């Protein structure tokens, strides 16, 4: 691996001499380095030989730790350039929940219900903040996304699911909370992937879904948090009902 610029000037872990550290100790050592040096996504990490020396670990142990951290998006290996702090996204959470949903449908009807509940909690719990924070331009865009959903329902334009996802992503944008945004997107991704395999993702209720999205837009435009929360409740209730019905059919 190439030397990451500036990596040698940072505080390295104390070298280990007594024994070869366990795999998890190497993983923890690399994470501790990132935290101690307050690194951000995209910042370079020490070279593989430097990590081996500092952690008292073999090259194979360091490589295995890097593979684990790469899978968690904590570390990114750029071949020919070096190792860097990863995006620190929730992709590992999406992969884990998705696989669980596909592997164990009976158990994961509950997981889907939980995902829906968390998404609704994000939006309804922030109702007052959202209706006062969304700009006129964002509200206009929300209306355009509802129009996209109408066109998709009629077999025109962009996909219904894509417009729905973009709608809810934009709805949370004014919070400026990256964690809430990532969690909401992760839960949506899991739902979209898993739900078709559980026969709960249908287009039978598109008209009602579009109407509820329009209610949400109207409530935001009127700066009415009470109506906004009510519209969200009516939007998510049919989804929960479809999950319950699909579970009963199993």
Asked if the structure places residue 1 within a domain, the reply is no
Q: What is the pLDDT of residues 83-101, one digit of tens each?
A: 999 877 766 666 666 666 5
Pick from 149, 128, 134: nearest CA to 227: 128
Residue 46's domain comprises 7-85
Whole-number pLDDT of residue 146? 96
| Claim to verify: residue 81 and residue 100 sit in the same structural domain | no
Asked if the structure places residue 47 within a domain, the reply is yes
Q: How far is it, in rounded angstroms, from Cα 19 to Cα 37? A: 25
Q: What is the pLDDT of residues 147-195, one digit of tens each?
A: 999 988 765 555 888 898 899 989 989 888 877 777 777 777 777 766 6
Where does the pLDDT of residue 203 fall: very low under 50, low under 70, confident under 90, or very high at 90 and above? low
Three-class secondary structure of residue 163 per DSSP: helix
End residue of a domain, out of 59, 85, 111: 85
| Claim to verify: residue 23 and residue 131 sit in the same structural domain | no
Pick from 69, 15, 22, 61: nearest CA to 45: 69
Q: What is the mean pLDDT of the chain?
A: 80
């Amino acid at each position: 691996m190439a030397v990451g610029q500036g990596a040698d000037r940072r505080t390295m872990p104390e070298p280990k001499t007594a024994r070869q550290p366990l795999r998890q100790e190497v993983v923890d050592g690399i994470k501790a380095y990132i935290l101690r040096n307050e690194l951000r996504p995209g910042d370079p990490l020490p070279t593989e030989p430097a990590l081996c020396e500092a952690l008292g670990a073999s090259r194979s142990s360091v490589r295995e730790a890097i593979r684990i951290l790469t899978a968690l998006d904590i570390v990114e290996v750029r071949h020919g350039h070096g190792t860097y702090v990863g995006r620190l996204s929730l992709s590992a959470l999406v992969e884990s929940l998705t696989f669980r949903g596909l592997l164990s449908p009976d158990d994961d009807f509950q997981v889907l219900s939980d995902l829906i509940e968390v998404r609704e909690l994000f939006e309804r719990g922030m109702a007052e903040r959202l209706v006062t924070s969304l700009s006129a331009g964002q509200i206009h865009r929300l209306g355009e996304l509802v129009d996209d959903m109408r066109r998709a329902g009629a077999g025109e334009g962009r996909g219904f699911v894509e417009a729905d996802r973009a709608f809810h992503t934009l709805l949370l944008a004014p919070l400026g909370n990256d964690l809430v945004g990532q969690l909401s997107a992760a839960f949506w991704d899991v739902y979209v992937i898993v739900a078709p395999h559980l026969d709960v993702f249908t287009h039978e209720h598109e008209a009602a879904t579009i109407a509820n999205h329009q209610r949400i837009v109207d409530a935001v435009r009127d700066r009415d948090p009470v109506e906004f929360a009510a519209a969200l409740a009516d939007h998510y209730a049919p989804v929960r009902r479809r999950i319950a019905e699909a579970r009963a059919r199993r």
